Structure 1
Amino acid sequence: MEDPAVGPLDLAARVDEALRVQAVAFGLTEEEILVRRHIVLRHLATPGARAYGAVTAAGRLVGFGYGLPCDRAQWWASVVEPCLRKNGVDDWLDDSFTVTELHVLPDYQGRGIGRALITTLTDQVRQPRSLLSAIDTESPARVLYRKLGYRDLARQVRFPSAPRPYAVMGAVLPLRRRERPAAGPR
């Protein structure tokens, strides 16, 4: 299995393909896909929105991520704000870049694609920090986010219609890169 290339993605043109990736990686129903399609397209109209994809040499999208500058008037921020305020960290909603979605097909997970997508997505944004939400369980995604420098800002956050609670995580940008092993004696 070849390594896909990570680069800018015209998410509006490939939204259906991206949502199929999300459906497999995250377990969405057809109804949820239709709802999210409209949300993604609305998000992409936000100034500063960015999207990156992992594409095989044959042109197959196997992972994607997108985000946008955080705005307290956005639905997501309005849901997480009370939880962040309760923990004394609601200032994270100001001057942050929100990683809205990040998904990689299961057959391609564990190969550094998610790391490449999120670091590329957040590199070059003007905001000094990043926010995201992830299901509040010890998953490979949460392990990756911690390695990149994200820390829990709020846990057990409930989104309407989401069956499981989420954690809101924040990191100072740029995200941490892998530590390189020290060179041995020559």
Structure 2
Amino acid sequence: MIQLRRVGPDTFITVIDTVLDIYTEAMRPPTDQLTGRLAIMRNHATHPDFVCLLAESPDIVGFAYGFHGAPGQWWHDVVRRALQDQAGPGAAQRWFGDALEIAEVHVRPDYQGKGIGRSLIHAICEGRPERTAVLSTHDAPTAARHLYGDIGFVDLLTRFVFPGGYENYVIAGVPLPLPPQR
């Protein structure tokens, strides 16, 4: 049985090696990117209203984390500017003016397809004061993209390439609170 445990930045940092292992299993990034990813995760833990959910059985098999998006955060500034350029300042303010930015949602491959990712997303959004939740995912017909759409996330930007990157992403958002989990 999977249990979800809500943790703050201090506990997140103590399990960050396990979190990075799960990220690596799920995403299979080039090995030379892992040191940078670890630094990014550590930095994310310093953002306002950081929250992490760990899926445990009894070991950690998945995680999701996010924080309140704010000017001065790299992802927030890059994506908000792109949405403003494409859809105008009103759209950028609606989606990013008061947003929970879901930075990572990953589940070990052996545990995928069992509703853990869905439960993590619902739990991380539960009780949040923000008006919206936003995230990025690969712009491809992946299981993750299907899951986000099924939960209610809508595409805000498609074929988005982050500065210095080469892969296409979708920036998606959903109003909060989420509808009840099915």
Q: TM-score, normalised by structure 1?
A: 0.88
Match of 1:150 in 2: 153
Number of corresponding residues: 175
3-state secondary structure, aligned to 1:110? coil
| Larger Rg computed on CA atoms | 1
3-state secondary structure, aligned to 2:20? helix
3-state secondary structure, aligned to 2:49? coil
3-state secondary structure, aligned to 1:138? coil
Shift of 1:150: 0.6
3-state secondary structure, aligned to 2:130? coil
CA root-mean-square deviation? 1.4
Confirm or deny that 1:175 pairs with 2:162.
Answer: no
5 Å-filtered alignment, 1:111-122, equals 111-122=114-125
Match of 1:182 in 2: none
Which structure carries more helix by proportion? 2
3-state secondary structure, aligned to 2:103? strand
Match of 2:42 in 1: 41
Match of 2:133 in 1: 130
> Is there any run of 5+ residues in structure 2 with no aligned partner, and where?
none
Q: For each residue in 1:123-151, what CA deviation from the matched residue of structure 2 results, as whole angstroms up to 9, or x when unmatched?
A: 11110210000111111111111111110
Distance, in Å, in 2 between the alignment partners of 1:138 and 1:129 is 23
5 Å-filtered alignment, 1:35-74, equals 35-57=36-58, 60-74=59-73
Match of 2:87 in 1: 87
Are 2:26 and 2:108, in contact at CA under 8 Å, matched by a contact in 1?
yes
Compared with structure 1, are the counterparts of its residues 27 and 161 closer, same or farther at alpha carbon in structure 2 (3 Å cutoff)? farther
Are 1:72 and 1:93, in contact at CA under 8 Å, matched by a contact in 2?
no
| Aligned partner (choices 5, 8, 13) of residue 7 of structure 1 | 5
Amino acid corresponding to residue 55 of structure 2 in structure 1:
A
Shift of 1:161: 4.1
Are 2:54 and 2:63, in contact at CA under 8 Å, matched by a contact in 1?
yes
Are 2:6 and 2:54, in contact at CA under 8 Å, matched by a contact in 1?
yes
3-state secondary structure, aligned to 1:11? helix
Distance, in Å, in 2 between the alignment partners of 1:163 and 1:20 is 24
3-state secondary structure, aligned to 1:34? helix
Q: For each residue in 1:42-87, what CA deviation from the matched residue of structure 2 results, as whole angstroms up to 9, or x when unmatched?
A: 1111220000111112xx2110010010113210022212321112
| Identity value in percent | 30
Q: TM-score, normalised by structure 2?
A: 0.90
Greater displacement, 159-168 / 35-44: 159-168
